[in-house]
Amino acid sequence: MNTARPIAVISHAHPSISKGGAEIAAHTLFHGLRALGVPAIFIAAVPETERHRLDLGAGEYAVFHAQERYEHLYQLAEPAVARQLCAVLEATGAEQLVFHHFLWLGLNSLRDALALPGRRGLLVLHEFLAQCHNHGQMITAGTQLPCSSASPSRCGACFPTLGRQRFELRRRLVGEVFDQLDGFISPSRFLADRFIGWGIPAERLHVVENGLLHPGQPAPPRPASGRFTFGFFGQLNPFKGVDVLLGAAERLASVEAIEIRIHGNVIGLPEALQARLDRLAESLPQLRFMGAYENDQVATLMADCDYVLVPSIWWENSPVVIQEAYAAGRPVICSGIGGMAEKVPPGVSGLHFRRNDAADLARVMQSATDPKLLAKLQAGLPRPGDATSMARQYLAAMGLPLAAAEAEAPPPARKPNRAGSRRSG
Amino acid sequence: MAAESTALLAGMQHLVEQARPLQEKSLRASAENLAGYIENVALDDRGRVWVMGWIRRGLPTELPVVLAERRRHAGAMAYFAFPRADLPQDAVAFIGVITSDWRPSPAVDLYCFLAPELNLYLRGVRPLGIVDAKVIGDHVAQALPQVSAGRSKELRALLQQAGDWTPHSPRAGFAMKASVDRVLVLPGFGAFVEGWVLSPSKPVIGFSLRLGGKVLRGVPGSLVRRARPDIAVVGGHTPLLLERAGFTMALEGPLESIDLVEPVLKAHFADDSSANVPVDPDTLRRIGHAVPVDDVLLCYPGLADEAFFPAFAAALRQDMVASLSQVSVIAAPTEALRLVVAAVPAHPSDARLMVEDLALALRRSDSPPAVLLLADPGTSRAELPVLARAVAEASGQRCGIALVEQAAKPLWALPHLLDLAGSQHFLLLAQHAFPCRAGWDAALGSLAQDEEAPHALHQSGAGGLAALRWTRTGLQHWLDNHPPALGQAHADALLAQAVPLPGSALSAQASRGGAQVLAAIDDLPGAPTP
């Protein structure tokens, strides 16, 4: 590879539009690479309807898409999305491509981009979308139970109106595109093992933990007040276990020592769940809905809690919120499955409760109102990596020695020649 | 008057029984025994034969008869007589009804021998005038003031009754409750009627159905009974009736599409009387249009072994072929010697994937051919231009769009589609087929050649045809000699003679099943070439 060419970090979303873990991790990598002096650009897929909110930084580009035109079963974007992406890559000369997610970009955009002369690519696996049609969560569509493995037959049973044959086609398409990639990166061992079990050769898969853009210093323990604050941070969607959290809050209504704060923006909550959230936030004195927050506020907001709650009902991969909690010096109480269980050793840096079990979450939260336990867990918190350590590991996974990557300055940026793309800085 | 006409019919039934043993007697139509002529005949909605003509004065007006044309039929005739100016003094005009299993045909020599001696006879004029029953009714109305003999009022009532399709006819004179649940109709054949009937005082022996201007008559022996305990609340205490109140019957008649309106069901009783039942037009379902053909199996699970199956099969085949041959062009394709005709899958996700794969294959091709997207009503019409644009961008040529009734069965429409583009060589991609990369490349590579032999790509597993590469001439010759299957094996017969293309294809649909009736029709010996 010609290292004079920038590395393109390609994300399905831009942090100025949404604050999901994948786009934040992608953005962190982009900054980490640049901090190391490695030429890099950041390309984000952005909904046309959000164009007015987009805030691109230096070296950042956008490809615009219409969400309603996205084909979710086979993960296909409109041809114009692939054209925009290829135009940016050709204009910037980026050869090494790091895809974070393929949602909204579409497998067709990956295929077309990787077919450009001299391009090589890595795909960062943030969830199971390649395997699972149920939003990539590996949760059964009807019963919402954890699914241990994907196959055309199992997926056809999970989506009986689609049938096994369409999942064979889906698997074939994903396989064709994956064959064009040089390798994969998973932020957790758990996810990596699941994809190895699904068929990706182990030697093509690297585990690299997400870093934080500004980890900062951990906050000191809060002064003892006899009252413990548990904070939820992130997107409020059904897979994040909002229902479980509300169930626990109801059970803890009479426990004065506990306060629960919910921070985040609401995304796709069913009407009934939204109504329940509104009602309980109004009626339960110890439950407070704090609303959305800016990413640079998270450390401060977490520092104002004693524990961070991660009650997701799906497996998770490596939730950024866990790294953020560690950076803020706060233990984590999480569902004891998947990437969460891997990242939070129970009794060391946090506690586990049974997935989708509000009563068990309430029990664990009550047990956590023990100052000695809190102190012990705080002492066991690991230090999360930062953007540059994350970038170094990515360069290694790409087979790029840091010295080589830094050897040449980026070429002068050229304006993409296709409408719909935008460069800033 | 209903009671009198019923008595007349009962008497005629008795006369028919008297005529039966007379069929074996020798018959001789000597000139001196000619007693008159039958000039016009009509078939009423009940299936009775009405006759008009002239006859010697003074003969009985109700008598057994033996009808002779190609074979003999025992029957009974009742008529009334009236004067007519053109007749000699010893003759009168007559209008009457004949009950028998004889049905009129214009091109035969008809003799109606009058019992008991069978010497005298009436002869049918040639060709026999076959008129509408309403014409008979007009003549009856004109003749009534001059009637000289016979039970004219009873006969008139009988004629009116047969032509009366007024729902809730009061003529039945007894309690009957009935309802029609569903009417499956098929132009060219008739209908299947499902419902229930409760007639406590006299049994129902069959049904006829009026649809628009046509009357469909129950196929003898096709009446199926079944228990309907769910209607006990309307049946009162009629436990025996409830055990067989449900009915299904096949009814045949020259039904056309324009007739599928104003249905009325007529229930026929053992005493030859009848009563009309209103039918909600919402119960009409056109077979193959509103309901799958296999819905008929719910009425007759052993359909292929029913006596009416050949007629049903012929009508269905004609109906389907006419439908499948129709093409509606939304956007004409580029005129080209070589054309890809890609059947668009019905599922929108599959359609996107098919076009994505097709565009990819076209971009790999050195000289991309012209493309026509073939869709059916199951496809989102609004999406088609979007799909066509994606194909056009890959091929560099305008992409055509055409609609057919079933994109999964395109062979009947294919010659017309090829003519649209002036194409001699074609590659047909079957609906729901997704060739692998090697399959696409082989198929497009084959299309670029000038070979005459058919080449085919197979679906993986037990699937059928995924893609066919052939010539317009070859296809037309094959169509002229081998009608494609109506069922899911539509083009599979071509697989046996086609050269296999390398590669394979997946299908977006489950392995093929269902369509049992169409498969049974395809299995009929000597299925006609449309």
pLDDT in tens, chain B (530 residues): 566 777 888 888 899 999 999 988 888 889 999 999 999 999 887 778 999 999 999 999 999 999 998 889 999 999 999 999 999 999 999 999 999 888 887 777 899 999 888 999 999 998 888 888 888 888 998 998 889 999 888 898 888 877 777 766 545 456 788 999 999 999 999 999 999 999 988 899 999 999 988 899 999 999 999 999 888 888 778 888 999 999 999 999 989 988 888 899 999 988 778 888 889 999 999 998 899 999 999 999 999 999 999 999 999 999 999 999 999 999 998 899 999 999 999 999 999 999 999 999 999 998 899 999 999 988 889 999 999 999 999 999 999 999 999 999 999 999 999 999 999 999 999 999 999 999 999 999 999 999 899 999 998 876 689 999 999 999 999 998 887 888 877 888 888 889 999 999 999 987 655 688 888 888 887 554 43
Statement to judge: residues A149 and A291 lie in one domain: no
Whether A425 is in a domain gets the answer no
Whether A115 is in a domain gets the answer yes
Per-residue pLDDT tens for A139-174?
999 888 899 999 999 999 999 999 999 999 999 999
Statement to judge: residues A56 and A175 lie in one domain: yes
Measured over the CA atoms of residue A289, residue A295, residue A301 and residue A306, the dihedral's sign is positive
**Token couple for B489:** 């094996």
pLDDT over 90, % of chain A: 82
- Nearest-Cα residue of chain A relative to residue B356: A108
DSSP state of B20: G
Among A33-42, A114-123, A147-156, A287-296, the minimum mean pLDDT is found in A287-296
A414 pLDDT more than 50: no
A73 contacts chain B (CB < 8 A): yes
pLDDT at residue B410 in the model: 94
Statement to judge: residues A123 and A16 lie in one domain: yes
Which of B390, B436, B506 lies nearest to residue A165, judging by beta carbons? B506
Statement to judge: residues A174 and A264 lie in one domain: no
Task: Report yes or no: A35 and A15 within 8 Å, Cβ to Cβ.
Answer: no
A401 contacts chain B (CB < 8 A): no
A77 pLDDT more than 90: yes
B359 contacts chain A (CB < 8 A): yes
> In angstroms, how far is the first alpha carbon of chain A from the final one?
26
- Which residue has 């799906």 as its token pair? A314
**Is B506 in Cβ contact with A163 (below 8 Å)?**
no
DSSP state of A139: B
Statement to judge: residues A264 and A205 lie in one domain: no
A153 contacts chain B (CB < 8 A): no
Task: Report yes or no: A126 and A25 within 8 Å, Cβ to Cβ.
Answer: yes
Task: Report yes or no: A286 and A174 within 8 Å, Cβ to Cβ.
Answer: no
Statement to judge: residues A37 and A75 lie in one domain: yes
pLDDT at residue A421 in the model: 44
Whether A361 is in a domain gets the answer yes
Task: Report yes or no: B495 and B464 within 8 Å, Cβ to Cβ.
Answer: yes
Scan residues 62-101 of B and list those with Cβ closer than 8 Å to A. Answer: none
Q: What is the largest CA-CA distance in chain B?
A: 96
Per-residue pLDDT tens for A254-313?
999 999 999 998 877 788 888 999 999 999 999 999 998 888 899 999 999 999 999 999
A164 contacts chain B (CB < 8 A): yes
Whether A166 is in a domain gets the answer yes
Whether A220 is in a domain gets the answer no
CA distance A92 to chain B (A): 24
Task: List chain B residues with CB under 8 Å of A71.
Answer: 348-349, 352-353
Hey, which residues does A206 pair with through a beta bridge? A185
Hey, which residues does A229 pair with through a beta bridge? A259
Amino acid at B117: E
* Residue contacts between A and B (CB atoms, under 8 Å): 42
**Token couple for B308:** 């009416």
**Is B434 in Cβ contact with A74 (below 8 Å)?**
no
Task: List chain B residues with CB under 8 Å of A172.
Answer: 434, 436, 506
Instruction: Pick the residue of A86, A133, A161, A169 with the most B CBs within 10 A to test the interface with B by mutation.
Output: A169
Distance, CA of A425 to CA of A409 (rounded, Å): 16
Which of B348, B434, B437 lies nearest to residue A169, judging by beta carbons? B434
pLDDT at residue A104 in the model: 97
Q: What CATH number does the domain containing A282 carry?
A: 3.40.50.2000
pLDDT at residue A152 in the model: 95
Burial label for A160, CB within 10 Å (0-12, 13-18, 19+), is exposed
H or E element: which one contains A242? helix A242-251
Statement to judge: residues A121 and A246 lie in one domain: no
Show the DSSP H helices in A36-94 as ranges: 79-92
Domain count, chain A: 2
CB atoms within 10 A of CB B491: 21
B393 contacts chain A (CB < 8 A): yes
pLDDT at residue B74 in the model: 93
CA distance A115 to chain B (A): 11
Dihedral of CA atoms A271, A274, A278, A281 in degrees, nearest 10, equals 150
Which of A76, A163, A164 lies nearest to residue B353, judging by beta carbons? A76
Task: Report yes or no: B407 and B379 within 8 Å, Cβ to Cβ.
Answer: yes
**Is A108 in Cβ contact with B509 (below 8 Å)?**
no
**Is A79 in Cβ contact with B393 (below 8 Å)?**
yes
Instruction: Pick the residue of A73, A75, A110, A165 with the most B CBs within 10 A to test the interface with B by mutation.
Output: A165
A72 contacts chain B (CB < 8 A): yes
pLDDT at residue A417 in the model: 37
pLDDT at residue B291 in the model: 93
Predicted structure pTM score = 0.78
**Is B350 in Cβ contact with A165 (below 8 Å)?**
no
The length of chain A, given as a count of residues: 425
A197 contacts chain B (CB < 8 A): no
B326-523 belongs to which CATH class? Answer: alpha beta
DSSP state of B174: S
**Is A163 in Cβ contact with B436 (below 8 Å)?**
no
CB contact burial B257-290 (16+ within 10 A = b; e otherwise): eebbeebbbbbbbeebbbbbbebeeebbbbbbee
Task: List chain B residues with CB under 8 Å of A165.
Answer: 506-510
A120 contacts chain B (CB < 8 A): no
Task: Report yes or no: A340 and A322 within 8 Å, Cβ to Cβ.
Answer: yes
Domain that residue A336 falls in: 228-379
Q: How many whole angstroms from its chain centre is CA A17?
A: 14
**Token couple for A387:** 């953007």
A163 contacts chain B (CB < 8 A): yes
Contacts of A225 (CB under 8 A, 6+ apart): none
Distance, CA of B45 to CA of A44 (rounded, Å): 75
Whether A389 is in a domain gets the answer yes
- Which residue has 């309106």 as its token pair? B261
Statement to judge: residues A193 and A234 lie in one domain: no
Task: List chain A residues with CB under 8 Å of B507.
Answer: 165
Nearest to A255 by CA among A226, A280, A231, A235: A226
CA distance A315 to chain B (A): 27
Whether A28 is in a domain gets the answer yes
Which of A74, A111, A172 lies nearest to residue B349, judging by beta carbons? A74
pLDDT at residue A2 in the model: 43
Statement to judge: residues A29 and A169 lie in one domain: yes
pLDDT at residue B2 in the model: 61
Task: Report yes or no: B372 and B417 within 8 Å, Cβ to Cβ.
Answer: yes
Task: Report yes or no: A40 and A55 within 8 Å, Cβ to Cβ.
Answer: no
Distances (CA, A) of A39 to A84, A184, A421, B55, B137: 21, 21, 20, 114, 99
Task: Report yes or no: B369 and B428 within 8 Å, Cβ to Cβ.
Answer: no
**Is B349 in Cβ contact with A165 (below 8 Å)?**
no
CA distance B425 to chain A (A): 29
Whether A269 is in a domain gets the answer yes
CA distance A79 to chain B (A): 7
A318 contacts chain B (CB < 8 A): no
Which of A71, A111, A172 lies nearest to residue B506, judging by beta carbons? A172
Task: List chain B residues with CB under 8 Å of A163.
Answer: 508-510
CB atoms within 10 A of CB B512: 16
Hey, which residues does A43 pair with through a beta bridge? A10, A61
Reduce the secondary structure of B410-424 to three states and give it as a string.
Answer: CCCCHHHHHHHHCCC
A160 contacts chain B (CB < 8 A): no
Task: List chain B residues with CB under 8 Å of A166.
Answer: 347, 349-350, 508
DSSP state of B475: H
**Is A166 in Cβ contact with B356 (below 8 Å)?**
no
Statement to judge: residues A50 and A74 lie in one domain: yes
Distance, CA of B217 to CA of B204 (rounded, Å): 14
pLDDT at residue B405 in the model: 92
**Is A73 in Cβ contact with B356 (below 8 Å)?**
no
Statement to judge: residues A331 and A194 lie in one domain: no
pLDDT at residue A403 in the model: 56
pLDDT at residue B530 in the model: 38
Statement to judge: residues A136 and A74 lie in one domain: yes
Distance, CA of A28 to CA of A46 (rounded, Å): 18
Third-level CATH fold of B170-301: Immunoglobulin-like (2.60.40)
A86 contacts chain B (CB < 8 A): no
ipTM of predicted complex: 0.85
Nearest to A233 by CA among A171, A158, A309, A157: A309
**Is B352 in Cβ contact with A169 (below 8 Å)?**
no
Task: Report yes or no: A28 and A387 within 8 Å, Cβ to Cβ.
Answer: yes
**Is A72 in Cβ contact with B349 (below 8 Å)?**
yes
- Nearest-Cα residue of chain B relative to residue A172: B436
